Amino acid sequence: MKATIFDIERNSYVDGPGIRTTVFFKGCNLRCAWCHNPESQSGFSQMLFYKDKCTGCGKCKEKCPNNLESCELCGRCALYCPHDAREICGREYTVDEVMREILKDQSYYETSGGGVTFSGGECMLQIDFLEEILKECKSHGIHTAVDTAGHVPFEYFEKIIPYTDLFLYDVKSLDNEKHKEYTGATNELILANLEMLLKSGKAVWVRIPIIPNVNDTEEEMKKIKSFLCSYGYPPKVELLPYHAMGEHKYAALGKKAHAFSVPGKEKISRLRKLFE
């Protein structure tokens, strides 16, 4: 069994408690306009070309079997580029291959109260692989977290609930039309799954991206808080301010990033107080 993964990040402090290894699955069924990992959206391997790093030395063209006229993702151009201007994003891993990376830091998980977080993209789109690797982590006594946007059948949650210690659950907006406009999908399934997850008693941290002129109002945050209070308020709500750090990745993919401003610290502080 294999899954397409585009990054395995070690020593993370932002994807759950303690020191964590975060495994990023490739493929997502949402198209959030503010996505800072656009390379995660496609479920297939891709070539990224960072034009600002390229010096025009011609090594990539020289080594490419197709003279750069077409790409078979063989990786030769990336291998021989002296300036890392080209990069293949995403490759297939087996459960054993990912576990080898995870187990390298098991001592850090134990001393810090950390563990492994499976993220994306949307990791739950590769549910059978996710279920197997969660089982493997639990067999080694490793704390597990699943970072999800929740736009999948609840049956997928039922498969992994026994092996997942914590869900990191994204909530973008309770306004259905606005949700569809900015993510490409309505929010009914997402909110229904969150309701059932909260009622299950499973540990859930809710994460809300704060996007100016989309959901950055006190009215929107109060609606989300009211929804959460109705079904069992989670132990933690995180507000994640928009940042523009992923814009260079859009250019590397030949895409144009949606322009948003970065929210001010005072506004974020004011919105956070609503959840205290």
- Average model confidence (pLDDT) for the chain? 95
DSSP per residue, the chain: -EEEEEEEEEEESSSSSSSEEEEEES--S---TT-S-GGGSSSS-EEEE-GGG-----HHHHH-TTTTSS-----HHHHH-TT--EEEE-EEEEHHHHHHHHHTTHHHHHHHT-EEEEESS-GGGGHHHHHHHHHHHHHTT-EEEEEE---S-HHHHHHHGGG-SEEEEE---S-HHHHHHHHSS-SHHHHHHHHHHHHHT--EEEEEEE-TTTT-SHHHHHHHHHHHHHH---SEEEEEE---TTHHHHHHTT--PPP-PPPPHHHHHHHHHTT-
In this structure, which amino acid lies at residue 253?
A: L
Model confidence at 171, pLDDT cuts 50, 70, 90, reads: very high
Q: What confidence score (pLDDT) does residue 59 get? A: 94
159 band by pLDDT with thresholds 50, 70 and 90: very high
What's the pTM?
0.94
Q: Identify the CA nearest to 59 among candidates 84, 40, 39, 36.
A: 84
Compute the chain's Rg from CA coordinates. Answer: 20
CA-to-CA distance for 114 and 233, rounded, in angstroms? 23
**172-201 confidence digits (pLDDT tens):** 999 999 999 999 999 999 999 999 999 999
Does residue 142 carry a pLDDT above 90? yes
- Domain ranges (residues) in the chain: 2-43+91-273, 48-88
Q: Over 90: is that where the pLDDT of 212 sits? A: yes
Q: Which CATH class is domain 2-43+91-273?
A: alpha beta
The share of the chain scoring above pLDDT 90, in percent, equals 96
| Per-residue pLDDT tens over the stretch 25-75 | 999 999 999 999 999 999 999 999 999 999 999 999 999 999 999 999 999
Report residue 142 as tokens.
Answer: 């490793």
Q: Output the CATH code of domain 48-88.
A: 3.30.70
The C-alpha angle with vertex 211 and arms to 121 and 179, in degrees rounded to 5, equals 65
For residue 64, give the amino acid letter. C
Note whether 169 and 204 are within 8 A (CB): yes
